[in-house]
Amino acid sequence: MKVEMIMPQMGESITEGTILKWLKKEGDVVEKDELILEISTDKVDSEIPTPVPGKLFKILAQEGDVVEVGKPIAIIETEGQVKESASERPKMAEAASASETETTEQVKADAPEVPATKIGKRKGKRFYSPVVMNIARENNISMDELERIEGSGLDGRVTKKDVLKYMEAKKSPESAAAYQAPSKVAFDKNAVEIIPMDNMRKRIAEHMVHSKHTSAHVSLYTEADMQNVANIIERNKTAFKKREGFSLTYTPFIVEATVKALKEFPLLNASIDGDNIVVKKFYNIGIAVALENGLIVPNIFEADTKNLIGLARSLHDIAWRARSKKLLPDEIQNGTFSISNFGVFGTVIGYPIINQPQVAILGVGAVKKRPVVINDAIAIRPIMYLSLTIDHRLIDGAMGSQFLERVREYLESYDPNMVV
């Protein structure tokens, strides 16, 4: 029998996804739960497993296509009945089973191929999905016009949204002019490299620009003496790594100190909704994780309920799953405050952009040994710069400064003999 694999529900607010890459090709045999493709949404990129074992009979959605949740993206040919219940299906890739009477002709009807002669021959190597070709044929869009449409899909491919946007723009001569092929610039083509933005980089760009347009950004910074925390790490590092399987770092101490300070300054754990201030009574701390092609901010939910070891475990878990594309979309939503630890790359200080709709973000620099004055004497201590970017619509400089100093005080007040 043939089973439809549908675009999975990637989160409560997700209505569509982009096919990034098929990991299997038509005709390949797949096992149940074997990774079959990569999907991107405006929240997260995820690797999706196949819902049933069998053979990848037909791919209905091509790389770069934007597909609504619940729509079929592939057909898997499997032997016998599929008897698993909905609760047994993978959460990230539920599939709707096709009836036994479904025919190949019915499958083709969902994604008919359009003869190129209807709209002209393809001139270059640019790929157009059947959906795009259908829309072009039905609306008398020539191949020359298609070639001029700017694609937002993978590797610049034209998606359904791109074509619909182009059709809307054609109604206005001024808007349509924006889609004309750009004039040539005289330069050596070998002197530049054109790299199309991938989906994640586009989303980061949109999110950052949106944040700057939304919030009145103001930045503050202080420096923290990390000697006590450094002593704790040194005393516990061998036993901790042997027990937990990963190294103890400064970050869980920073998260714990931040949560304590947020409880004293609740407006920094809030958001703005029109003319209302929404103060959160829970503490979901977003941690910026650098990926190969961008950045993602998964949350440690209810961070105030975890001790130092629990925070360390959560940090290790979300960082590993973020880099392995194992995060769930809901894990990067509903954060209340974020921390960006650029110090792991050696950067001493920076001023991160607020993660909307939050009203503040803490920047963490590298811990560096520096000469400092302590009790009128010069000593060498591990010093870390902390920066705080606040939304001045809600947080004034005085409150932001007090919060930042409170974080510093908590970090400096750890017992150096503490056992972790």
30 and 126 in contact (C-beta within 8 Å)?
no
Q: Is 396 a known active-site residue?
A: yes
Element (H, E) at 378: strand 377-391
Active site residue 316: no
Give φ, ψ of 181 to 5 degrees: -60, 135
Which entry of 42, 110, 396, 415 is annotated as an active-site residue? 396
Q: Which residues on adjacent β-strands are paired with residue 291?
A: 294
Report the C-alpha gap between 65 and 244 in whole angstroms.
Answer: 42
Which residues are registered as beta bridge partners of 296?
A: 289
Are the C-beta atoms of 271 and 280 separated by less than 8 Å? yes
| Closest among 296, 300, 285 to 324, alpha carbons compared | 296
Contact (Cβ atoms closer than 8 angstroms) between residue 360 and residue 197? no
Rounded to the nearest 10 degrees, the angle between the axes of helix 308-323 and helix 227-244 is 70
Identify the active-site residue in 217, 304, 317, 392.
Answer: 392
Query: Distance between CA atoms of 331 and 334, rounded to whole angstroms?
Result: 8
Residue 17 contacts residue 69 (beta carbons within 8 Å) = yes
Active site residues: 392, 396
